[in-house]
Amino acid sequence: MLRSAKEMQGYAVEATDGAIGHVKDFYLDDAKWVIRYLVVDTGGWLSSRKVLVSPIAVGTPDWEQKLLPVSISKEQVRNSPSIDTEQPVSRQHEIAYAAHYGYPNYWGDGGYWGGGMYPNLMMPSDGGFGGSDAGPGDEQLEMVRRAKGRSEMAQSESARRAHDDPHLRSCNTVVGYHIRASDGDIGHVAGMLIDEQTWAVRYFVVDTSNWWLGHQVLIAPQWIKDMNWLDETVEVSMTRQAIKDAPLYDAQAAMSHEAEDRLYKHYGHVGYWTGYPIREDEISRS
């Protein structure tokens, strides 16, 4: 099912031992179009410090209560690497973050998350926890050994990938970007729809109300011709008329598979659910 990134802002985040804070923003990977981190405002318990939480740790959300449970402790959050959420996230910081929580690196393979599609499959079998009050039994010693091994691998990876470009963007920053069709401006980004299982960004919600009052449509990131981060514009290959004639998006209604199928057929695309990547030569030039 698809969820609105805008609506998820403000959701409470609950650690294994208490509340962490609430969702403030998301970091979007603009290479694979997937959410890599939730930006969480910790509020009073941590002096409103903003921290990153990976979808790897997110359990089954309580959508009615607007609650996201996460498999990390408040102590882990307190000791997590500091970050300035107003600045780009470096690969070095990501590597330090992954080492802290014991996560494998998500990059370097063909899937959204390593070699797979689902972030929770990357959760370490020991939950990524350390520092238990339990005695030094075999299980505890094995956890320590694993943590040490992950730390050493992360240090080596940090040196090798120190200058990689992680392609991370703030979702809040992208909202408001202008949309340009092949024959002129068409509207602006009003939001994003996220796949609740993979955390992939499936659609940009495009507000065209400057031309057609109350008219919102969806454009998949894979249909984007170019993102100009300096000019804050998104270029697509479709004409204004093709976008105007696209199925309308109703924010009050759940996005059904049938509605997605109609949308993809309108633009002449193969649905992402077929399991095949959309090639550039499949992009509609209408």
pLDDT tens column, 41-74: 999 999 989 999 999 999 999 999 999 999 999 9
Task: For residues 74 and 17, give the distance between their C-alpha atoms in angstroms, rounded to a whole number.
Answer: 7
User: At which of 148, 168, 188 does a domain end?
Assistant: 168
- The CATH number given to whatever domain includes residue 182 is 3.90.50.10
Q: Which amino acid, residue 238?
A: M
Report the pLDDT value the prediction gives residue 132, as an integer from 0 to 100. Answer: 34
Q: Are 209 and 199 in contact (CB under 8 A)?
A: no
In tens, the pLDDT along 210-250 reads: 787 778 999 999 999 999 999 999 999 999 999 999 999 99
Count of domains forming the chain: 2
Q: Answer yes or no: do 121 and 199 share one domain.
A: no
Phi, psi angles (nearest 5°) of residue 85: -70, -5
Whole-model pTM? 0.82
Between residues 22 and 127, which one has the greater pLDDT? Answer: 22
Do residues 12 and 149 both lie within one domain?
Answer: yes
140, pLDDT greater than 50: no
119, 113 in Cβ contact below 8 A?
yes
Tokens of 126: 């020991």
269 lies in which domain range? 175-282
CA distance 33 to 225: 14
Residues 189 and 129 in one domain: no
Query: Could you say which of 135, 168, 201 is where a domain stops?
Result: 168
Between CA 65 and CA 268, with CA 168 as vertex, the angle to 5 degrees is 85
Same domain? 158 vs 212: no
